[in-house]
Amino acid sequence: MNPAELSASLLAIVSAMLERRGATQTLTIDDVALERPRNRDHGDWASNIAMKLAKPLGSSPRDIAAEVTAELESVAGVASVSIAGPGFINITLDAAAAGEIARTILDQGEVYGRNEGLAGQSINLEFVSANPTGPLHIGHTRWAALGDSLARVLRASGATIATEFYINDAGNQMDNFGASILAAARGLETPENGYPGQYIADLASRVVQLEPNLLILADDEALAVARETGYRLQLGEIQASLERFNVHFDVWFSERELHAIDQATGQSAIDSAIDRLRVQGHVFDADDAVWVKTTDFGDDKDRVIRRGNGIFTYFAADAAYYLSKSDRGYTHKIYLLGADHHGYVHRLKALAGSAGDDPERDIEVLIGQLVSINGARLSKRAGNIIELNDLQAWLGTDALRYSLGRYPADSPLTLDPELLQKRTNDNPVFYVQYAHARTHQVARNAAASGVTREVFDASLLTHETESMLLGILAEFPRVVLQSAELREPHRIARYSEELAGAYHRWYDNCRVTPLGEETVTDTHRTRLWLNDATGIVLRNALGLLGVSAPERM
RNA sequence: GCGCCCGUAGCUCAGCGGAUAGAGCAAUUGACUACGGAUCAAUAGGUCGGGGGUUCAAAUCCCUCCGGGCGCACCA
Q: In sequence order, what DSSP letters do the residues of A266-289 get, joined into one string? A: S-BHHHHHHHHHHHTT-EEEETTE
The whole-number pLDDT of residue A153 equals: 97
Does residue A505 lie within 7 Å of nucleic acid chain B, judged by its CB? Answer: yes
Does residue A492 lie within 7 Å of nucleic acid chain B, judged by its CB? Answer: no
Residues A108-156 pLDDT 10s: 999 999 999 999 999 999 999 999 999 998 889 999 999 999 999 999 9
Confidence of residue A23 (pLDDT cuts 50, 70, 90): confident
d(CA A366, CA A303): 21
Does residue A401 carry a pLDDT above 90?
Answer: yes
State the nucleotide closest to A378 in CA–C1' terms.
B69
d(CA A274, CA A291): 10
Rounded to an integer, the average pLDDT of A222-226 is 96
State the nucleotide closest to A465 in CA–C1' terms.
B40
Nearest protein residue, CA measured to C1' of B25: A426
Residues A449-459 pLDDT 10s: 999 999 999 99
Q: Which H or E run contains A451? A: none
Nearest protein residue, CA measured to C1' of B14: A494
Rounded to an integer, the average pLDDT of A512-521 is 90
Confidence of residue A377 (pLDDT cuts 50, 70, 90): low
Q: Which H or E run contains A312? A: none
Confidence of residue A381 (pLDDT cuts 50, 70, 90): low
For A29, residues 6+ apart whose C-beta sits below 8 A from its C-beta are A7, A8, A11
Closest CA to A211 of A191, A231, A239, A240: A231
Pairing of the two strands A283-286 and A289-292: antiparallel
Nearest protein residue, CA measured to C1' of B35: A442
The C1' atom of B18 and the CA atom of A57 lie apart, in whole Å, by: 19
The whole-number pLDDT of residue A451 equals: 95
**Weakest mean pLDDT among A32-46, A200-214, A352-366, A479-493:** A32-46
DSSP structure string for A350-419: HHHHHTTS-TTTTEEEEEEPPEEETTBPP-TTTT---BHHHHHHHH-HHHHHHHHHTS-TTS-EEE-HHH
Confidence of residue A50 (pLDDT cuts 50, 70, 90): very high
Does residue A339 lie within 7 Å of nucleic acid chain B, judged by its CB? Answer: yes
The C1' atom of B11 and the CA atom of A250 lie apart, in whole Å, by: 39
| Amino acid identity, position A329 | G
Cα separations in angstroms, A384 against A62, A387, A397: 59, 10, 21
Work out the mean pLDDT of chain A and round it to a whole number: 92
The C1' atom of B51 and the CA atom of A160 lie apart, in whole Å, by: 48
The C1' atom of B70 and the CA atom of A213 lie apart, in whole Å, by: 45
Does residue A239 carry a pLDDT above 90?
Answer: yes
**Weakest mean pLDDT among A143-152, A431-440, A516-525:** A516-525
**Weakest mean pLDDT among A228-232, A413-417, A504-508, A542-546:** A413-417
d(CA A231, CA A180): 12
| Strand B interface, A 65-84, C-beta < 7 A | 84
For chain A, how far is it from start to end, CA to CA, in angstroms?
A: 35
By the 10 Å C-beta count (0-12 exposed, 13-18 middle, 19+ buried), A263 is classed as exposed
Does residue A298 lie within 7 Å of nucleic acid chain B, judged by its CB? Answer: no
| Strand B interface, A 237-276, C-beta < 7 A | none
The whole-number pLDDT of residue A382 equals: 59
Does residue A174 carry a pLDDT above 90?
Answer: yes
The whole-number pLDDT of residue A54 equals: 87
> Which DSSP category does A112 fall into?
B
Q: What percent of chain A has pLDDT over 70?
A: 98
Cα separations in angstroms, A433 against A63, A126, A439, A499: 47, 29, 10, 11
Cβ-contact A336, A125 below 8 angstroms: yes
The whole-number pLDDT of residue A425 equals: 74
The C1' atom of B71 and the CA atom of A298 lie apart, in whole Å, by: 16
**Weakest mean pLDDT among A106-110, A515-519, A531-535:** A515-519
State the nucleotide closest to A512 in CA–C1' terms.
B35
Does residue A86 lie within 7 Å of nucleic acid chain B, judged by its CB? Answer: yes
By the 10 Å C-beta count (0-12 exposed, 13-18 middle, 19+ buried), A20 is classed as exposed
Rounded to an integer, the average pLDDT of A506-516 is 93
| Strand B interface, A 143-162, C-beta < 7 A | none
Rounded to an integer, the average pLDDT of A528-533 is 97
> Which DSSP category does A426 fall into?
T
d(CA A97, CA A107): 16
Confidence of residue A380 (pLDDT cuts 50, 70, 90): low
For A99, residues 6+ apart whose C-beta sits below 8 A from its C-beta are A458, A459, A460, A461, A466, A470, A526, A530
Rounded to an integer, the average pLDDT of A147-174 is 95
| Strand B interface, A 375-414, C-beta < 7 A | 375, 377, 406-408, 410-414
d(CA A287, CA A294): 17
Q: Which domains does chain A have, with CATH numbers?
A: 3-93 (3.30.1360.70), 122-127+164-169+250-422 (3.40.50.620), 172-244 (no CATH), 426-544 (1.10.730.10)
Cα separations in angstroms, A32 against A1, A114, A117, A219: 16, 21, 17, 71
Q: Which H or E run contains A91? A: strand A88-93
Higher-scoring residue by pLDDT: A44, A40: A44
d(CA A95, CA A468): 11
Confidence of residue A298 (pLDDT cuts 50, 70, 90): confident
d(CA A125, CA A123): 6
The full length of chain A comes to 553
The whole-number pLDDT of residue A297 equals: 86
State the nucleotide closest to A426 in CA–C1' terms.
B25
Pairing of the two strands A413-415 and A283-286: unpaired
Does residue A446 lie within 7 Å of nucleic acid chain B, judged by its CB? Answer: yes
> Which DSSP category does A133 fall into?
T
Which chain B positions come under 7 Å from a protein C-beta?
2-7, 11-16, 18-26, 34-36, 38-41, 56-57, 68-76
The C1' atom of B66 and the CA atom of A333 lie apart, in whole Å, by: 38
Helix and strand numbers (H, E) in chain A are 19, 13
